[in-house]
Structure 1
Amino acid sequence: MKRWRRAGRARNARRAGRVWDARRAFHASLACLARERRTTGSDSVTTPFAHSFTKDEDASMAMSLYEPALTGFQDRPRGLGSACRVDLRAALLCSLLLLAGCPSASTSTIPSFTPLVDKDVLSVVRQQFPHGYAIGDVTSSSALLWFQGTEAGPVHVEWQAGGASATRGWQSLSVNLSKDRDLAVTVLLSGLEPGTTYRFRVIPGVTPGQPVSKRLVAEGLEGQFTTAPSPARSQPVTFVWSADLGGQQRCRRHERGYPIFESMRQTRPAFALLLGDTIYGDDRCPSPPNMPGSDLLATSLDTFREKHRYQRGATDLQRFLREVPIVATWDDHEVRNNFSGPSEPLMAFGRQAFLEYWPIQGPADEGFRLHRSLRWGQDVELFVLDTRQYRSDNGEPDGPGKSMLGASQRDWLLDALTRSHATWKVIVSTVPVSIPKPGSKLIPGIDSWAKGEDGTGFSNELSRIVATIMAQPVRNVVWLSADVHYPQINAYDPDGDGTPDFHEFIAGPLSASPGRLAPLDQTFHPTTLYTETGFYNFGVVTIAGEELRLEIRDEAGAVRYTNTFQARRAVRP
């Protein structure tokens, strides 16, 4: 009897060893697959384990979790993943076969904390950080890291230069997740080097001075980003922009939510500009046909937060935010249609929720400030405007006292434009320059810069901006706009000499009802180079020195319009 018991224990031990070996082989093969995806740019990863990562977002999160602990793996043999069965023996066999293609693989680097139970290896990560993370406002020396947890308490953040092959030490800080900010936080990573890839990790449950265990690292988030080049360096850059997400009940129709983000991601931009209407607080998303969770109007801080959480449930958006740095600003539907900040009772709620859910951080003495400038190398400077917080009521007659920006922001813009030495100066305005966006019975008056037939609009303030551009002169100014739900490209010739003095590129919607084409206000002599409506879209800009290439792409990524612009040399006294 004792001999049988000893034999049974030996069999159980051998089985446990095989389970452990299979787990170890699986994680090593996953690292190998991760390495291939990073080096080849492949968009899909198939694993040989029962809980296979068949969705892009699962594979991406799994790779970010395990790859840093597993180094030295190379390419894998082609065509094996899809043939792997899901039972334990097949998982072990396929994993070992995959490892055969990784000549420098070493199982000694596989983490000892890997669980032995058959659970989704992402379960803890999904529980701790269900919305992943976002990187925003990347410069040559800093970046903002956003994430949201599920429990209040301390979180440890570490980062180091060098990406996956980093050899330098970690820098770190600790922050607290608080229910006062809906368990979301934006962390400033400063003192960074230009044009450098940084790896970071977010580890829950760590207090200052507490050792960081391998298990805590496994339960956290990992990712990477690359800082902007030095302002003295000219380097080609591609970025995308659009706006208007989930409007007029065109919300998340399935788990992916908004497929257009995958098309945007595939352009491999250095960053993306989101020009507002990232939620529609004043519109419902009925279910069906949409995914449940947003069939409500936002009238309190909690309901505005609920609107943002609903959007972040879209897996295509989650992946986009993990891989593409964001420059975000708000427009009217982050609160309600055509609102003006000083007179809007819901603005404080909408503004707080917006700042909680996007990687934005104003100066310490101006915590609600959204306007800012960002430099990307020698050739690009962005001037991101806040067209809502300080604006006069739309229904007021236009004149010297009416302002969309407020005096302080307007003076900042004019000074920053005239001081900029970037080749291209990009003014990010959520509303268009010369398309008169009409008001409503509830909030009358033109909502855009254009002069309306009723005497409203913000053309007087725009004239001051244009006058500064012309007087200096400030060359190679491009306005990026959105809000009207159709793309349009305009050239402006304020002095009528036949040479355009600045351009306007309009894109959107990401997912909202298409807008109706409207005649332009002729104050600044616009010429429309392209306009079209009836489809979801985004813009792509590639700048290489004095050349700017523009594309308008549809939801599937097909190019609907393209043009190339050459910079004009600055002539300043």
Structure 2
Amino acid sequence: MKLIFKRFSFFTILFLAFYAKIAAQQVYFTTGFKVSELSSVHATVWTRLCEKEKPNPVVHQRLNQVFRHPINFDENMPIAQMDGSVLGTAGWVRITLQSGSFKISSGWLSAVLEKDFTVFYTFKELKPNTRYEVRLEGKPTEKGLVQKAAGNFTTAPAMYDKKELNLTTSTCQYFWSHDDSLKGFHTYQSMALLKPDLFVQTGDYVYYDKPGPMANTPEKARHKWHAMDAWPSLKSFFQFTPVYMLKDDHDLLADDVHPGSANFGQLTISDGLKIWRENVPLAGKPYRTLRWGKDVQLWFLEGREYRSNNDMPDGATKTIWGNEQKNWLINTMQQSDATYKIIFSPTPIVGPDRGTKADNHSNFAFKTEGDWARELLSGQKAIVVNGDRHWQYVSKDASSGLMEFGSGPVSDFHAQGWPPNEKRPEHQFLRVAGGFLGIKMVYEQQKPILYLTHYDVMGKKLHEERIKN
């Protein structure tokens, strides 16, 4: 009996040692993947290799107040021990797209420490309005075990095709404002049920300058992205939904950042831009446009890289967008013959906003450029969709008639900053709570109609505007 037990113990130890060795040789797609910068002919696939299958669990309790900051969080603990932590690991990634018999691959790409183990590849010469299956393979070494992930997306339609659009957009998400300590945010689960063609995240994807931890080093800043991307609600959403991402102050450095801003601890604005590009790979400028068939064109604006200091006296040279971006916007809008022109801005252009704010076009601090922008956009019969504000609203500028739609924050726990009962004349809709905005362009009797719908975090319809051009 003792001999049998010894043999059993020996083989158990041997098996466990073998299993541990195999586990140590694996890589994982714990932070998922994103299909971004979609057009009718190209798409970029981004991912990151991780050393373990799941992120650290959420163990800290939270304050029972807005933002839900963590209680007794040790800002100096090793990142590997933090809630939501997912350390990266070196290895190789291959990305493959397939549509029917057509197949195209990136080949094996290296994931390295210098780029936080992120990998991306841009596929070109794709076909318009075509569904592609996405397959990712990851391995630690040339002959290592292969881990897989999969999803799909559909390219945008060709320029003059009559194709409907189903899009969702949201803003302002802080890890500790989560709705579910296991899954993350209800909003992403609710958006997934609508099966959008495209998602636009209008900035503040993470908050460097909020605790748990304060991201005052590049390592902590990267951790914020890892923890956010590892939420199952986000990971599953991005498997089947391509994304355009905009940045704002909190996912670049800190509140109200501009090119001359001081460091946030050891984190510099150069660090912030580098980390942004690691997670949001762009081929060119941070401002870009997307044509969606015959009747819709989208513009995605940049609001941090070219702006003046908030404290600079207002005037013709004070800017948020910068001259190069402004000229690009004028030219591309004038060249567009789309029925609906939709502007996605990280910050408000119409407002109204709090009187104490001074960092966007609805504030007196940027009134000169704000007046110019509202006249330009209204003259083009454009519609503005903005991020940044922690409440949901629809507003109409009294002077220009320009309409603006604020999606609201991703969680009810993040909603604040405006008195719930202070509905001003320009407000068509006001709600100080979380949720998202849905945008649909459909054909009714062969004519394009645009619907913009506010939802709560659970996906309940709250308010809808029907726009016919």
- TM-score tier by shorter-chain length is 0.7 to 0.9
* AA of the residue aligned to 1:237: L
The CA deviation at 1:125 is 12
SS in 2 for 1:411: helix
Match of 1:149 among 45, 49, 59: 49
Query: Retained in 2: the 8 A contact 1:195–1:227?
Result: yes
What TM-score does the superposition give when structure 1 sets the normalisation length? 0.65
Structure 1, residues 28-50: CA drift from partner, whole Å, max 9, x if none? xxxxxxxxxxxxxxxxxxxxxxx
The AA in structure 2 aligned to 1:559 is K
Q: Which whole-Å CA distance do the structure 2 matches of 1:132 and 1:278 have between them?
A: 15
Which residues in structure 2 correspond to 1:19-58 (within 5 Å)? none
- Aligned partners of 2:277 and 2:388: how far apart in 1? 20
Query: What's the CA shift string for 1:335-356, capped at 9, x where partnerless?
Result: 2111113334332222222222
Aligned pair 1:560/2:458, yes or no?
no
Report the alpha carbon displacement of residue 279 of structure 1 after superposing the two structures with TM: 0.6
Deviations 1:429-480 (A, max 9, x none): 111123354597xxxx61121233xxx2x2211223334345xx423x1100
2:102 is paired with a residue of what secondary structure?
Answer: coil
Would you tell me which structure has more helix in proportion to its own residues?
1
Question: In the alignment, what sits opposite 2:184?
Answer: 257
CA distance 1:526–1:468, shift in 2 (3 Å): farther
Structure 2 Cα separation of the partners of residues 515 and 396 of structure 1: 28
- Cα distance in 2 for partners of 1:329, 1:303 equals 21
Determine the C-alpha separation between the residues in 2 that align with 1:447 and 1:231: 36
Distance 1:126 1:152 in 2: 10
Which letter does structure 2 place at the counterpart of 1:474? Q
Partner of 2:415: 514
CA distance in 1, matches of 2:232, 2:240: 13
Structure 1 unaligned residues grouped into runs of 5+: 1-118, 285-294, 364-368, 520-524, 568-573
Q: 1:372-521 to 2 correspondence within 5 Å?
A: 372-435=288-351, 437=353, 446-452=358-364, 456=365, 458-469=366-377, 473-475=379-381, 477-492=382-397, 494=399, 500=401, 502-511=402-411, 512-517=413-418
Q: Secondary structure at the match of 1:466?
A: helix
1:330 and 1:406 map into 2 onto residues whose CA distance is 16
Partners of 1:375 and 1:206 lie apart in 2 by 39
Corresponding residue for residue 103 of structure 1: none
- Any unmatched runs of 5+ in structure 2? 1-18, 51-88
Q: Counterparts of 2:380 and 2:174 in 1: how far apart (Å)?
A: 37
Question: Is 1:183 aligned to 2:128, yes or no?
Answer: no
Highest RCO, 1 vs 2 (Cα 8 Å, sep ≥ 6): 2
Tell me what 1:245 maps to.
Answer: 173
What percent of counterpart residues are identical?
24
Alpha carbons of structure 1 residues 253 and 168: separation in structure 2 relative to 1, 3 Å: closer
Query: Which one has a larger percent strand, Structure 1 or Structure 2?
Result: 2
Structure with the greater alpha carbon radius of gyration? 1
User: Are 1:527 and 2:426 matched, yes or no?
Assistant: yes
The equivalent of 1:16 in structure 2 is none
CA distance in 2, matches of 1:153, 1:410: 42
Q: Residue 283 of structure 1 is aligned with which of 210, 229, 247?
A: 210
Tell me the secondary structure at the aligned position of residue 341 of structure 1: coil
Please tell me the root mean square deviation across aligned C-alpha atoms, in Å: 2.7
Tell me if the contact between 1:125 and 1:219 (Cα under 8 Å) persists in the aligned partners: no
Q: Which amino acid aligns with 1:548?
A: L
Shift of 1:305: 0.1
Q: d(CA) in 2 for partners of 1:451 and 1:243?
A: 20
Distance 1:267 1:407 in 2: 38
**Distance change in 2, residues 1:553/1:125 (3 Å):** farther
Q: How many angstroms apart in 2 are the aligned matches of 1:189 and 1:425?
A: 27
CA separation in 2, counterparts of 1:323 and 1:126?
Answer: 25
> Number of residues paired by the alignment?
397
Partner Cα distance (2:359, 2:162) in 1:
37
- Structure 1 residue 252, shift from structure 2 partner: 6.5
Asked if the contact 1:275–1:428 (Cα under 8 Å) also holds between the matched residues in 2, the reply is: yes
* TM-score between both structures, scaled by the size of structure 2: 0.78
1:159 maps to what in 2? Answer: 97
Q: Does 1:356 align with 2:278?
A: yes
Q: Aligned residue for 1:317?
A: 234
